[in-house]
Structure 1
Amino acid sequence: MYLATALFIVAAVAAVWASVAPRFGIVRAALTGAAIFAILALATVRHARNEPHAFKIGPDGMSVWSRTGILRAQGRIVGCSQWSDCLLMLSLEDEGDRSHRLLIAADMLEPDVFRELAVLARRSAHV
């Protein structure tokens, strides 16, 4: 996924360069390309830090933690959608009735853990 993101950033910078350079010159194209690169690179780093890293499933719900140890979402499972064995979407509702949506790709977890989470989510969503 990081390779695809890096290729997207390169393509975006090249597109900006190709459209800005003929109109405003090489210097402005270089500055604009550098700004676009910085914005996309920082967004990529921020996304990687906030990506779910640890899941804790308890009797009263589920909590999701980021790689930096920040609690990203917590609550009981109120909705579940599953696309084959590839993707699981959970809807968590916290005590303040706020809803959090969580996408879990199958390759984020071990296959048995992914199946177990899918079964638990389907059961919790229908209760």
Structure 2
Amino acid sequence: MTALFIVVAVAAVWASVAPRFGIFRAALTGAAVFAILALATVRHARNEPHAFKIGPDGISVWIRTGILLAQGRIVGCSQWSDCLLMLSLEGEGSRLHRVLIAADMLEPDLFRELAVFARRSAHV
């Protein structure tokens, strides 16, 4: 789906720029849009949460490469139906980290368990 979005975005840029500024500028602008969206896709895939560790002092979120993405106490939680969960973690120095967790990233029971834990932790 992301590749399809990139193709549609580049085609829209081409269709908008080509009639006004010519084919050469449309090609440069389309290439720039393609590069920006492709890099953003790679960065997003690399930084997507992969593992969660729930401890007595909060939660830790790790990415696929084993690097700690965020760690801290849950201070806020928003849930959109059974689809998406957003956690606000208070890290060291009162720094806030926001982590988005899609329901299809976890098994349904684990997603519900994490959502309940997050709601309880956010209200304490």
TM-score normalised per structure 1: 0.88
Q: Report deviation, 1:80.
A: 1.6
Secondary structure at 2:92 match in 1: coil
Give per-residue Cα distances to partners, 1:69-121, cap 9 Å, x unaligned: 22111001112222222221211111311111112111110011111111111
Q: Report deviation, 1:125.
A: 1.5
RMSD of the TM alignment (CA)?
A: 1.4
Alignment of 1:74-89 (within 5 A): 74-89=71-86
**Alpha-carbon distance between aligned partners in 2 of 1:68 and 1:84, rounded to the nearest angstrom:** 30
Give per-residue Cα distances to partners, 1:40-77, cap 9 Å, x unaligned: 11111111101111111111110111122221110011
User: How many residues were matched structurally?
Assistant: 123
**Alpha-carbon distance between aligned partners in 2 of 1:125 and 1:36, rounded to the nearest angstrom:** 39
2:121 aligned to which of 117, 121, 124:
124
Which segments of 5 or more consecutive residues in structure 1 lack a partner in the other structure? none
**Alpha-carbon distance between aligned partners in 1 of 2:15 and 2:66, rounded to the nearest angstrom:** 41
**Alpha-carbon distance between aligned partners in 2 of 1:11 and 1:40, rounded to the nearest angstrom:** 11
* Aligned sequence identity (%): 90
Moved over 3 A (4+): none
**Alpha-carbon distance between aligned partners in 1 of 2:5 and 2:95, rounded to the nearest angstrom:** 33
Secondary structure at 1:32 match in 2: helix
Which segments of 5 or more consecutive residues in structure 2 lack a partner in the other structure? none
**Alpha-carbon distance between aligned partners in 1 of 2:35 and 2:47, rounded to the nearest angstrom:** 18
TM-score normalised per structure 2: 0.90
**Alpha-carbon distance between aligned partners in 2 of 1:117 and 1:38, rounded to the nearest angstrom:** 36
**Alpha-carbon distance between aligned partners in 2 of 1:105 and 1:80, rounded to the nearest angstrom:** 13
